[in-house]
A = this chain, B = another copy of it.
């Protein structure tokens, strides 16, 4: 037995005992020391860094730890085995994905704008924000020896007085509390009901004076990041909003690895536990606390996620998605309940899933397409969702076409050594002085928050600025030298945004050539997908009237910089619109408005899916796009000028 002391940056301690020879990453996992290891312990991502404070580890050297860092005690947990008592510093960045929940400031201009816009667009398109959920107050006649109708019939008779309905359904939970609630409140009660054209479903019954909110929960289940919002289904008012890392990250950074892990013994349960028990449950808990409502007052949930995430969430075998002929178990689901999969909200709450349209274009995109309003205009528009998979929809009110490309988690900070989600401490925007090469960045959080890492929008800015300042070349290699440029023992260059002493973490915040390389492949995948799809239709990029850029990569994206590095086509800036996390907004609209929900199913049925891998030109396009801005510089005249 050896003793392992985990020391966190905030000074907290955790002691654990393990056997000599055990893998440090596994020991950490067993003791719930969250540690980000998107590569599943293959030593390929370099995220699971720890620093020796006392004692030794039996560690293999790796490209992710320089000689200098090694001497300073830095190790990767995945390549380290225990060989004696040890004390280890666990840097915040190493678990920023899985451990941190970010509560949004609902009063920020960005937040207000996104949901105001979405609601306004919905109404302008003629889709009413009606969802059939209501609170009905009843003052029932008390029973007597002359009026001995049983409680359930009495309630139903009362409800029928309000609506011209055929059938009223009282589920078990309402029947169970009925006699007590009626008598405690002298037959003055209010009911939470859902009314369809003919029928009424009674979700709950309360005393007339109790505070009742009809909570709706919209969730974007991303491969890397999960975002959710809790709102009032009667008014549409947002009550709480939050994002957190998808705890499935430990089973692999991309959908393919997760499907493979799902096939292992208990894999279905493990993957489902990670997203529900470890990710959604604490988020729901926290949001209810913030909104001041109970979990039972969440009466409906809508999930928007990609096809694989949807399968993993439901605990349905996803193996057939991965292997030819790539068949999902479902595109669209119906009549699921949140309680079917153990989501701890009202027991009868319906679980609505934004529909998938293919193995690699899922509900996140159909929900996003709803929000983009592409389907409501004669002009051709492009909708680009930057997630772990990049998805693209092109079309207008007559046709729509979609495709997907594997961008990897770089846009959410996933493949980047100092990458992190857009939460406190993330550098979200940056300029670099062309001469001094000094950075000027803004950090998410209270004023004075020190940088811990980089989120997606920050990475785009830093790479664009490094490129425009001539610090890196078209391939992303460092070509200038200076105080902030370093080379490790392998000769790999890096740029330091914040030295350890300025940073909010125990190590420098920097970006390396490996990071830049990963990012170039991600942006190349997006750009080449856009071009391939358009050219397959015989379209040029300049025929795109509007480009809607979505994704939870930060509070905004500097489009100019995204064009500079060749991620988005070189069009006039005014054609671009950053629309935020449309998967989440779409899930919100589907709950707020039943016509919008129906419209989403309709969009999904009418959207054509293009499988890029079978388009002959795609690989050539991709190779060309793995340059900044592109091997064919003529495609980016504005960048060339600058």
How close is A625's CB to chain B, nearest CB, in angstroms?
27
Q: How many copies does the complex hold?
A: 2
State which of A58-66, A274-282, A318-326, A432-440 sits at the interface with chain B. A318-326
A325 touches B148 (CB 8 A): yes
Whole-angstrom distance between the alpha carbons of A148 and B172 in the complex? 40
Among B315, B325, B356, the residue within 8 A (CB) of A143 is B325
Q: Whole-angstrom distance between the alpha carbons of A57 and B183 in the complex?
A: 46
Whether B143 and A327, one on each chain, are in contact in the complex, defined by CB atoms closer than 8 angstroms, is yes
A333 within 8 A of B: yes
Q: Is A150 an interface residue (CB 8 A)?
A: yes
From B176, B317, B319, B334, contact of A316 by CB (8 A): B176
Among B147, B152, B176, B330, contact of A175 (Cβ-Cβ < 8 Å): B330
Nearest neighbor of A147 in chain B, beta-carbon distance: B325
Which one, B175, B332, B334, contacts A333 given CB within 8 A? B175
Partner of A152, one of B144, B317, B320, B329: B329
- Report if A501 contacts B (CB, 8 A): no
Within 8 A of B (CB), among A132-168: 143-145, 147-153
B169 touches A335 (CB 8 A): yes
- Let me know if A314 is at the binding interface, CB within 8 A: yes
Give the chain B neighbours of A356 by CB distance below 8 A: 150
Give Cα A320 to B180, complex, Å. 9
Contact A179 B145 (CB under 8 A): no
Contact between B183 and A320, CB atoms less than 8 A apart? yes
CB-based contact B329/A150 at 8 Å: yes
Assuming the contacts A180-B317, A317-B180, asked whether A171 and B335 have C-beta atoms less than 8 A apart, the reply is yes
Within the assembled complex, what's the spacing in Å between the Cα atoms of A176 and B337?
13
- Asked whether A179 and B148 contact (CB < 8 A) given A172-B337, A172-B340, A340-B172, the answer is no
**A-B complex: 7 closest residue pairs judged by Cβ atoms:** A172-B340, A179-B317, A152-B330, A151-B329, A179-B329, A145-B325, A143-B327
Pick 13 A–B contacts, CB within 8 A, sort by A: A143-B325, A143-B327, A148-B326, A149-B327, A150-B327, A150-B329, A151-B329, A152-B330, A170-B334, A176-B314, A176-B315, A179-B316, A179-B319
Measured in the bound complex, the distance between the Cα atoms of B340 and A482 in whole Å is 69
A324 with B171: in contact, given A178-B329, A179-B317, A330-B151 (CB under 8 Å)? no
Q: What is the bound-complex CA distance between A326 and B332, given in angstroms? A: 48
Q: A331 on the interface (CB 8 Å rule)? A: yes
What residues of chain B lie closer than 8 Å to A13, measured between beta carbons? none
Q: Mark A330-346, 1 if CB is under 8 A from B, else 0.
A: 11111111001100000
Considering only CB atoms and an 8 Å cut-off, how many residues of chain A contact the other chain? Answer: 44
Besides A143-B325, A175-B329, 7 other A-B contacts (C-beta < 8 A): A147-B325, A148-B327, A153-B330, A169-B335, A172-B337, A172-B340, A179-B327
Give the complex CA separation of A331 and B325 in angstroms: 53
Closest CB in chain B relative to A424 CB, distance in Å: 38
A458–chain B nearest beta-carbon distance, Å: 38
**In the assembled complex, A566 has its CB within 8 A of some CB on chain B:** no
| Smallest beta-carbon distance A327→chain B, Å | 5
Alpha-carbon distance A285/B399, docked complex (angstroms): 57
Determine whether A328 belongs to the interface, using a CB cutoff of 8 Å to chain B.
yes
A interface with B by C-beta (< 8 Å) = 143-145, 147-153, 169-172, 175-176, 178-180, 183, 314-317, 319-320, 324-337, 340-341, 356, 358
Main secondary structure of the interface of A (DSSP, over half): loop
Residues of B within 8 Å of A180, CB to CB, are 317
In angstroms, Cα B358 to Cα A145, docked, is 12
Residues of B within 8 A of A317 (CB): 179-180
How distant is the Cα of A315 from the Cα of B337 in the complex, in angstroms? 22
Task: Please measure, in the bound complex, the distance between the C-alpha atom of A371 and the C-alpha atom of B630, giving whole angstroms.
Answer: 84
Of chain B, the residue at the smallest CB distance from A154 is B327
> Which of A328, A329, A333 has the most CB atoms of chain B within a 10 A radius of its CB?
A329
Task: Give min CB distance, A160 to chain B, whole Å.
Answer: 15
Q: Which residues of B contact A149 (CB under 8 A)?
A: 327
Is the Cβ of A172 less than 8 Å from the Cβ of B319? Answer: no
Q: How far is the CA of A215 from the CA of B211 in the complex (A)?
A: 45
* Least distance between A324 CB and chain B CB atoms (Å): 7
- Which residue on B lies nearest to A318, using beta carbons? B179
Chain B residues with Cβ below 8 Å from A333 are 152, 175
Chain B contacts for A145, CB-based, 8 A: 324-325
Which B residues touch A329, using CB under 8 A? 150-152, 175, 178-179
Chain B residues with Cβ under 8 A from A327's Cβ?
143, 148-151, 179
Contacts of A316 in B (CB 8 A): 175-176, 178-179
List the B side residues contacting A320 at CB < 8 Å. Answer: 151, 179, 183
- The residues of B that contact A358 with a CB separation of less than 8 Å are 148
Instruction: Tell me the complex Cα distance, A169–B151, Å.
Output: 31
Q: What's the nearest-Cβ distance from chain B to residue A389, in Å?
A: 18
Contacts of A337 in B (CB 8 A): 172
Q: Does B331 lie within 8 Å of A150, measured CB to CB? A: yes
A170 surroundings in chain B (CB, below 8 A) = 334
Q: Which residue of B lies closest to A330 (CB)?
A: B152
- A336 close to B172 (CB less than 8 A): yes
Residues of B within 8 A of A335 (CB): 169, 171
CB distance from A35 to the nearest CB of B (A): 31
How many angstroms between the C-alpha atoms of A314 and B337 in the bound complex? Answer: 21
| Bound complex: CA A56 to CA B328 (Å) | 72
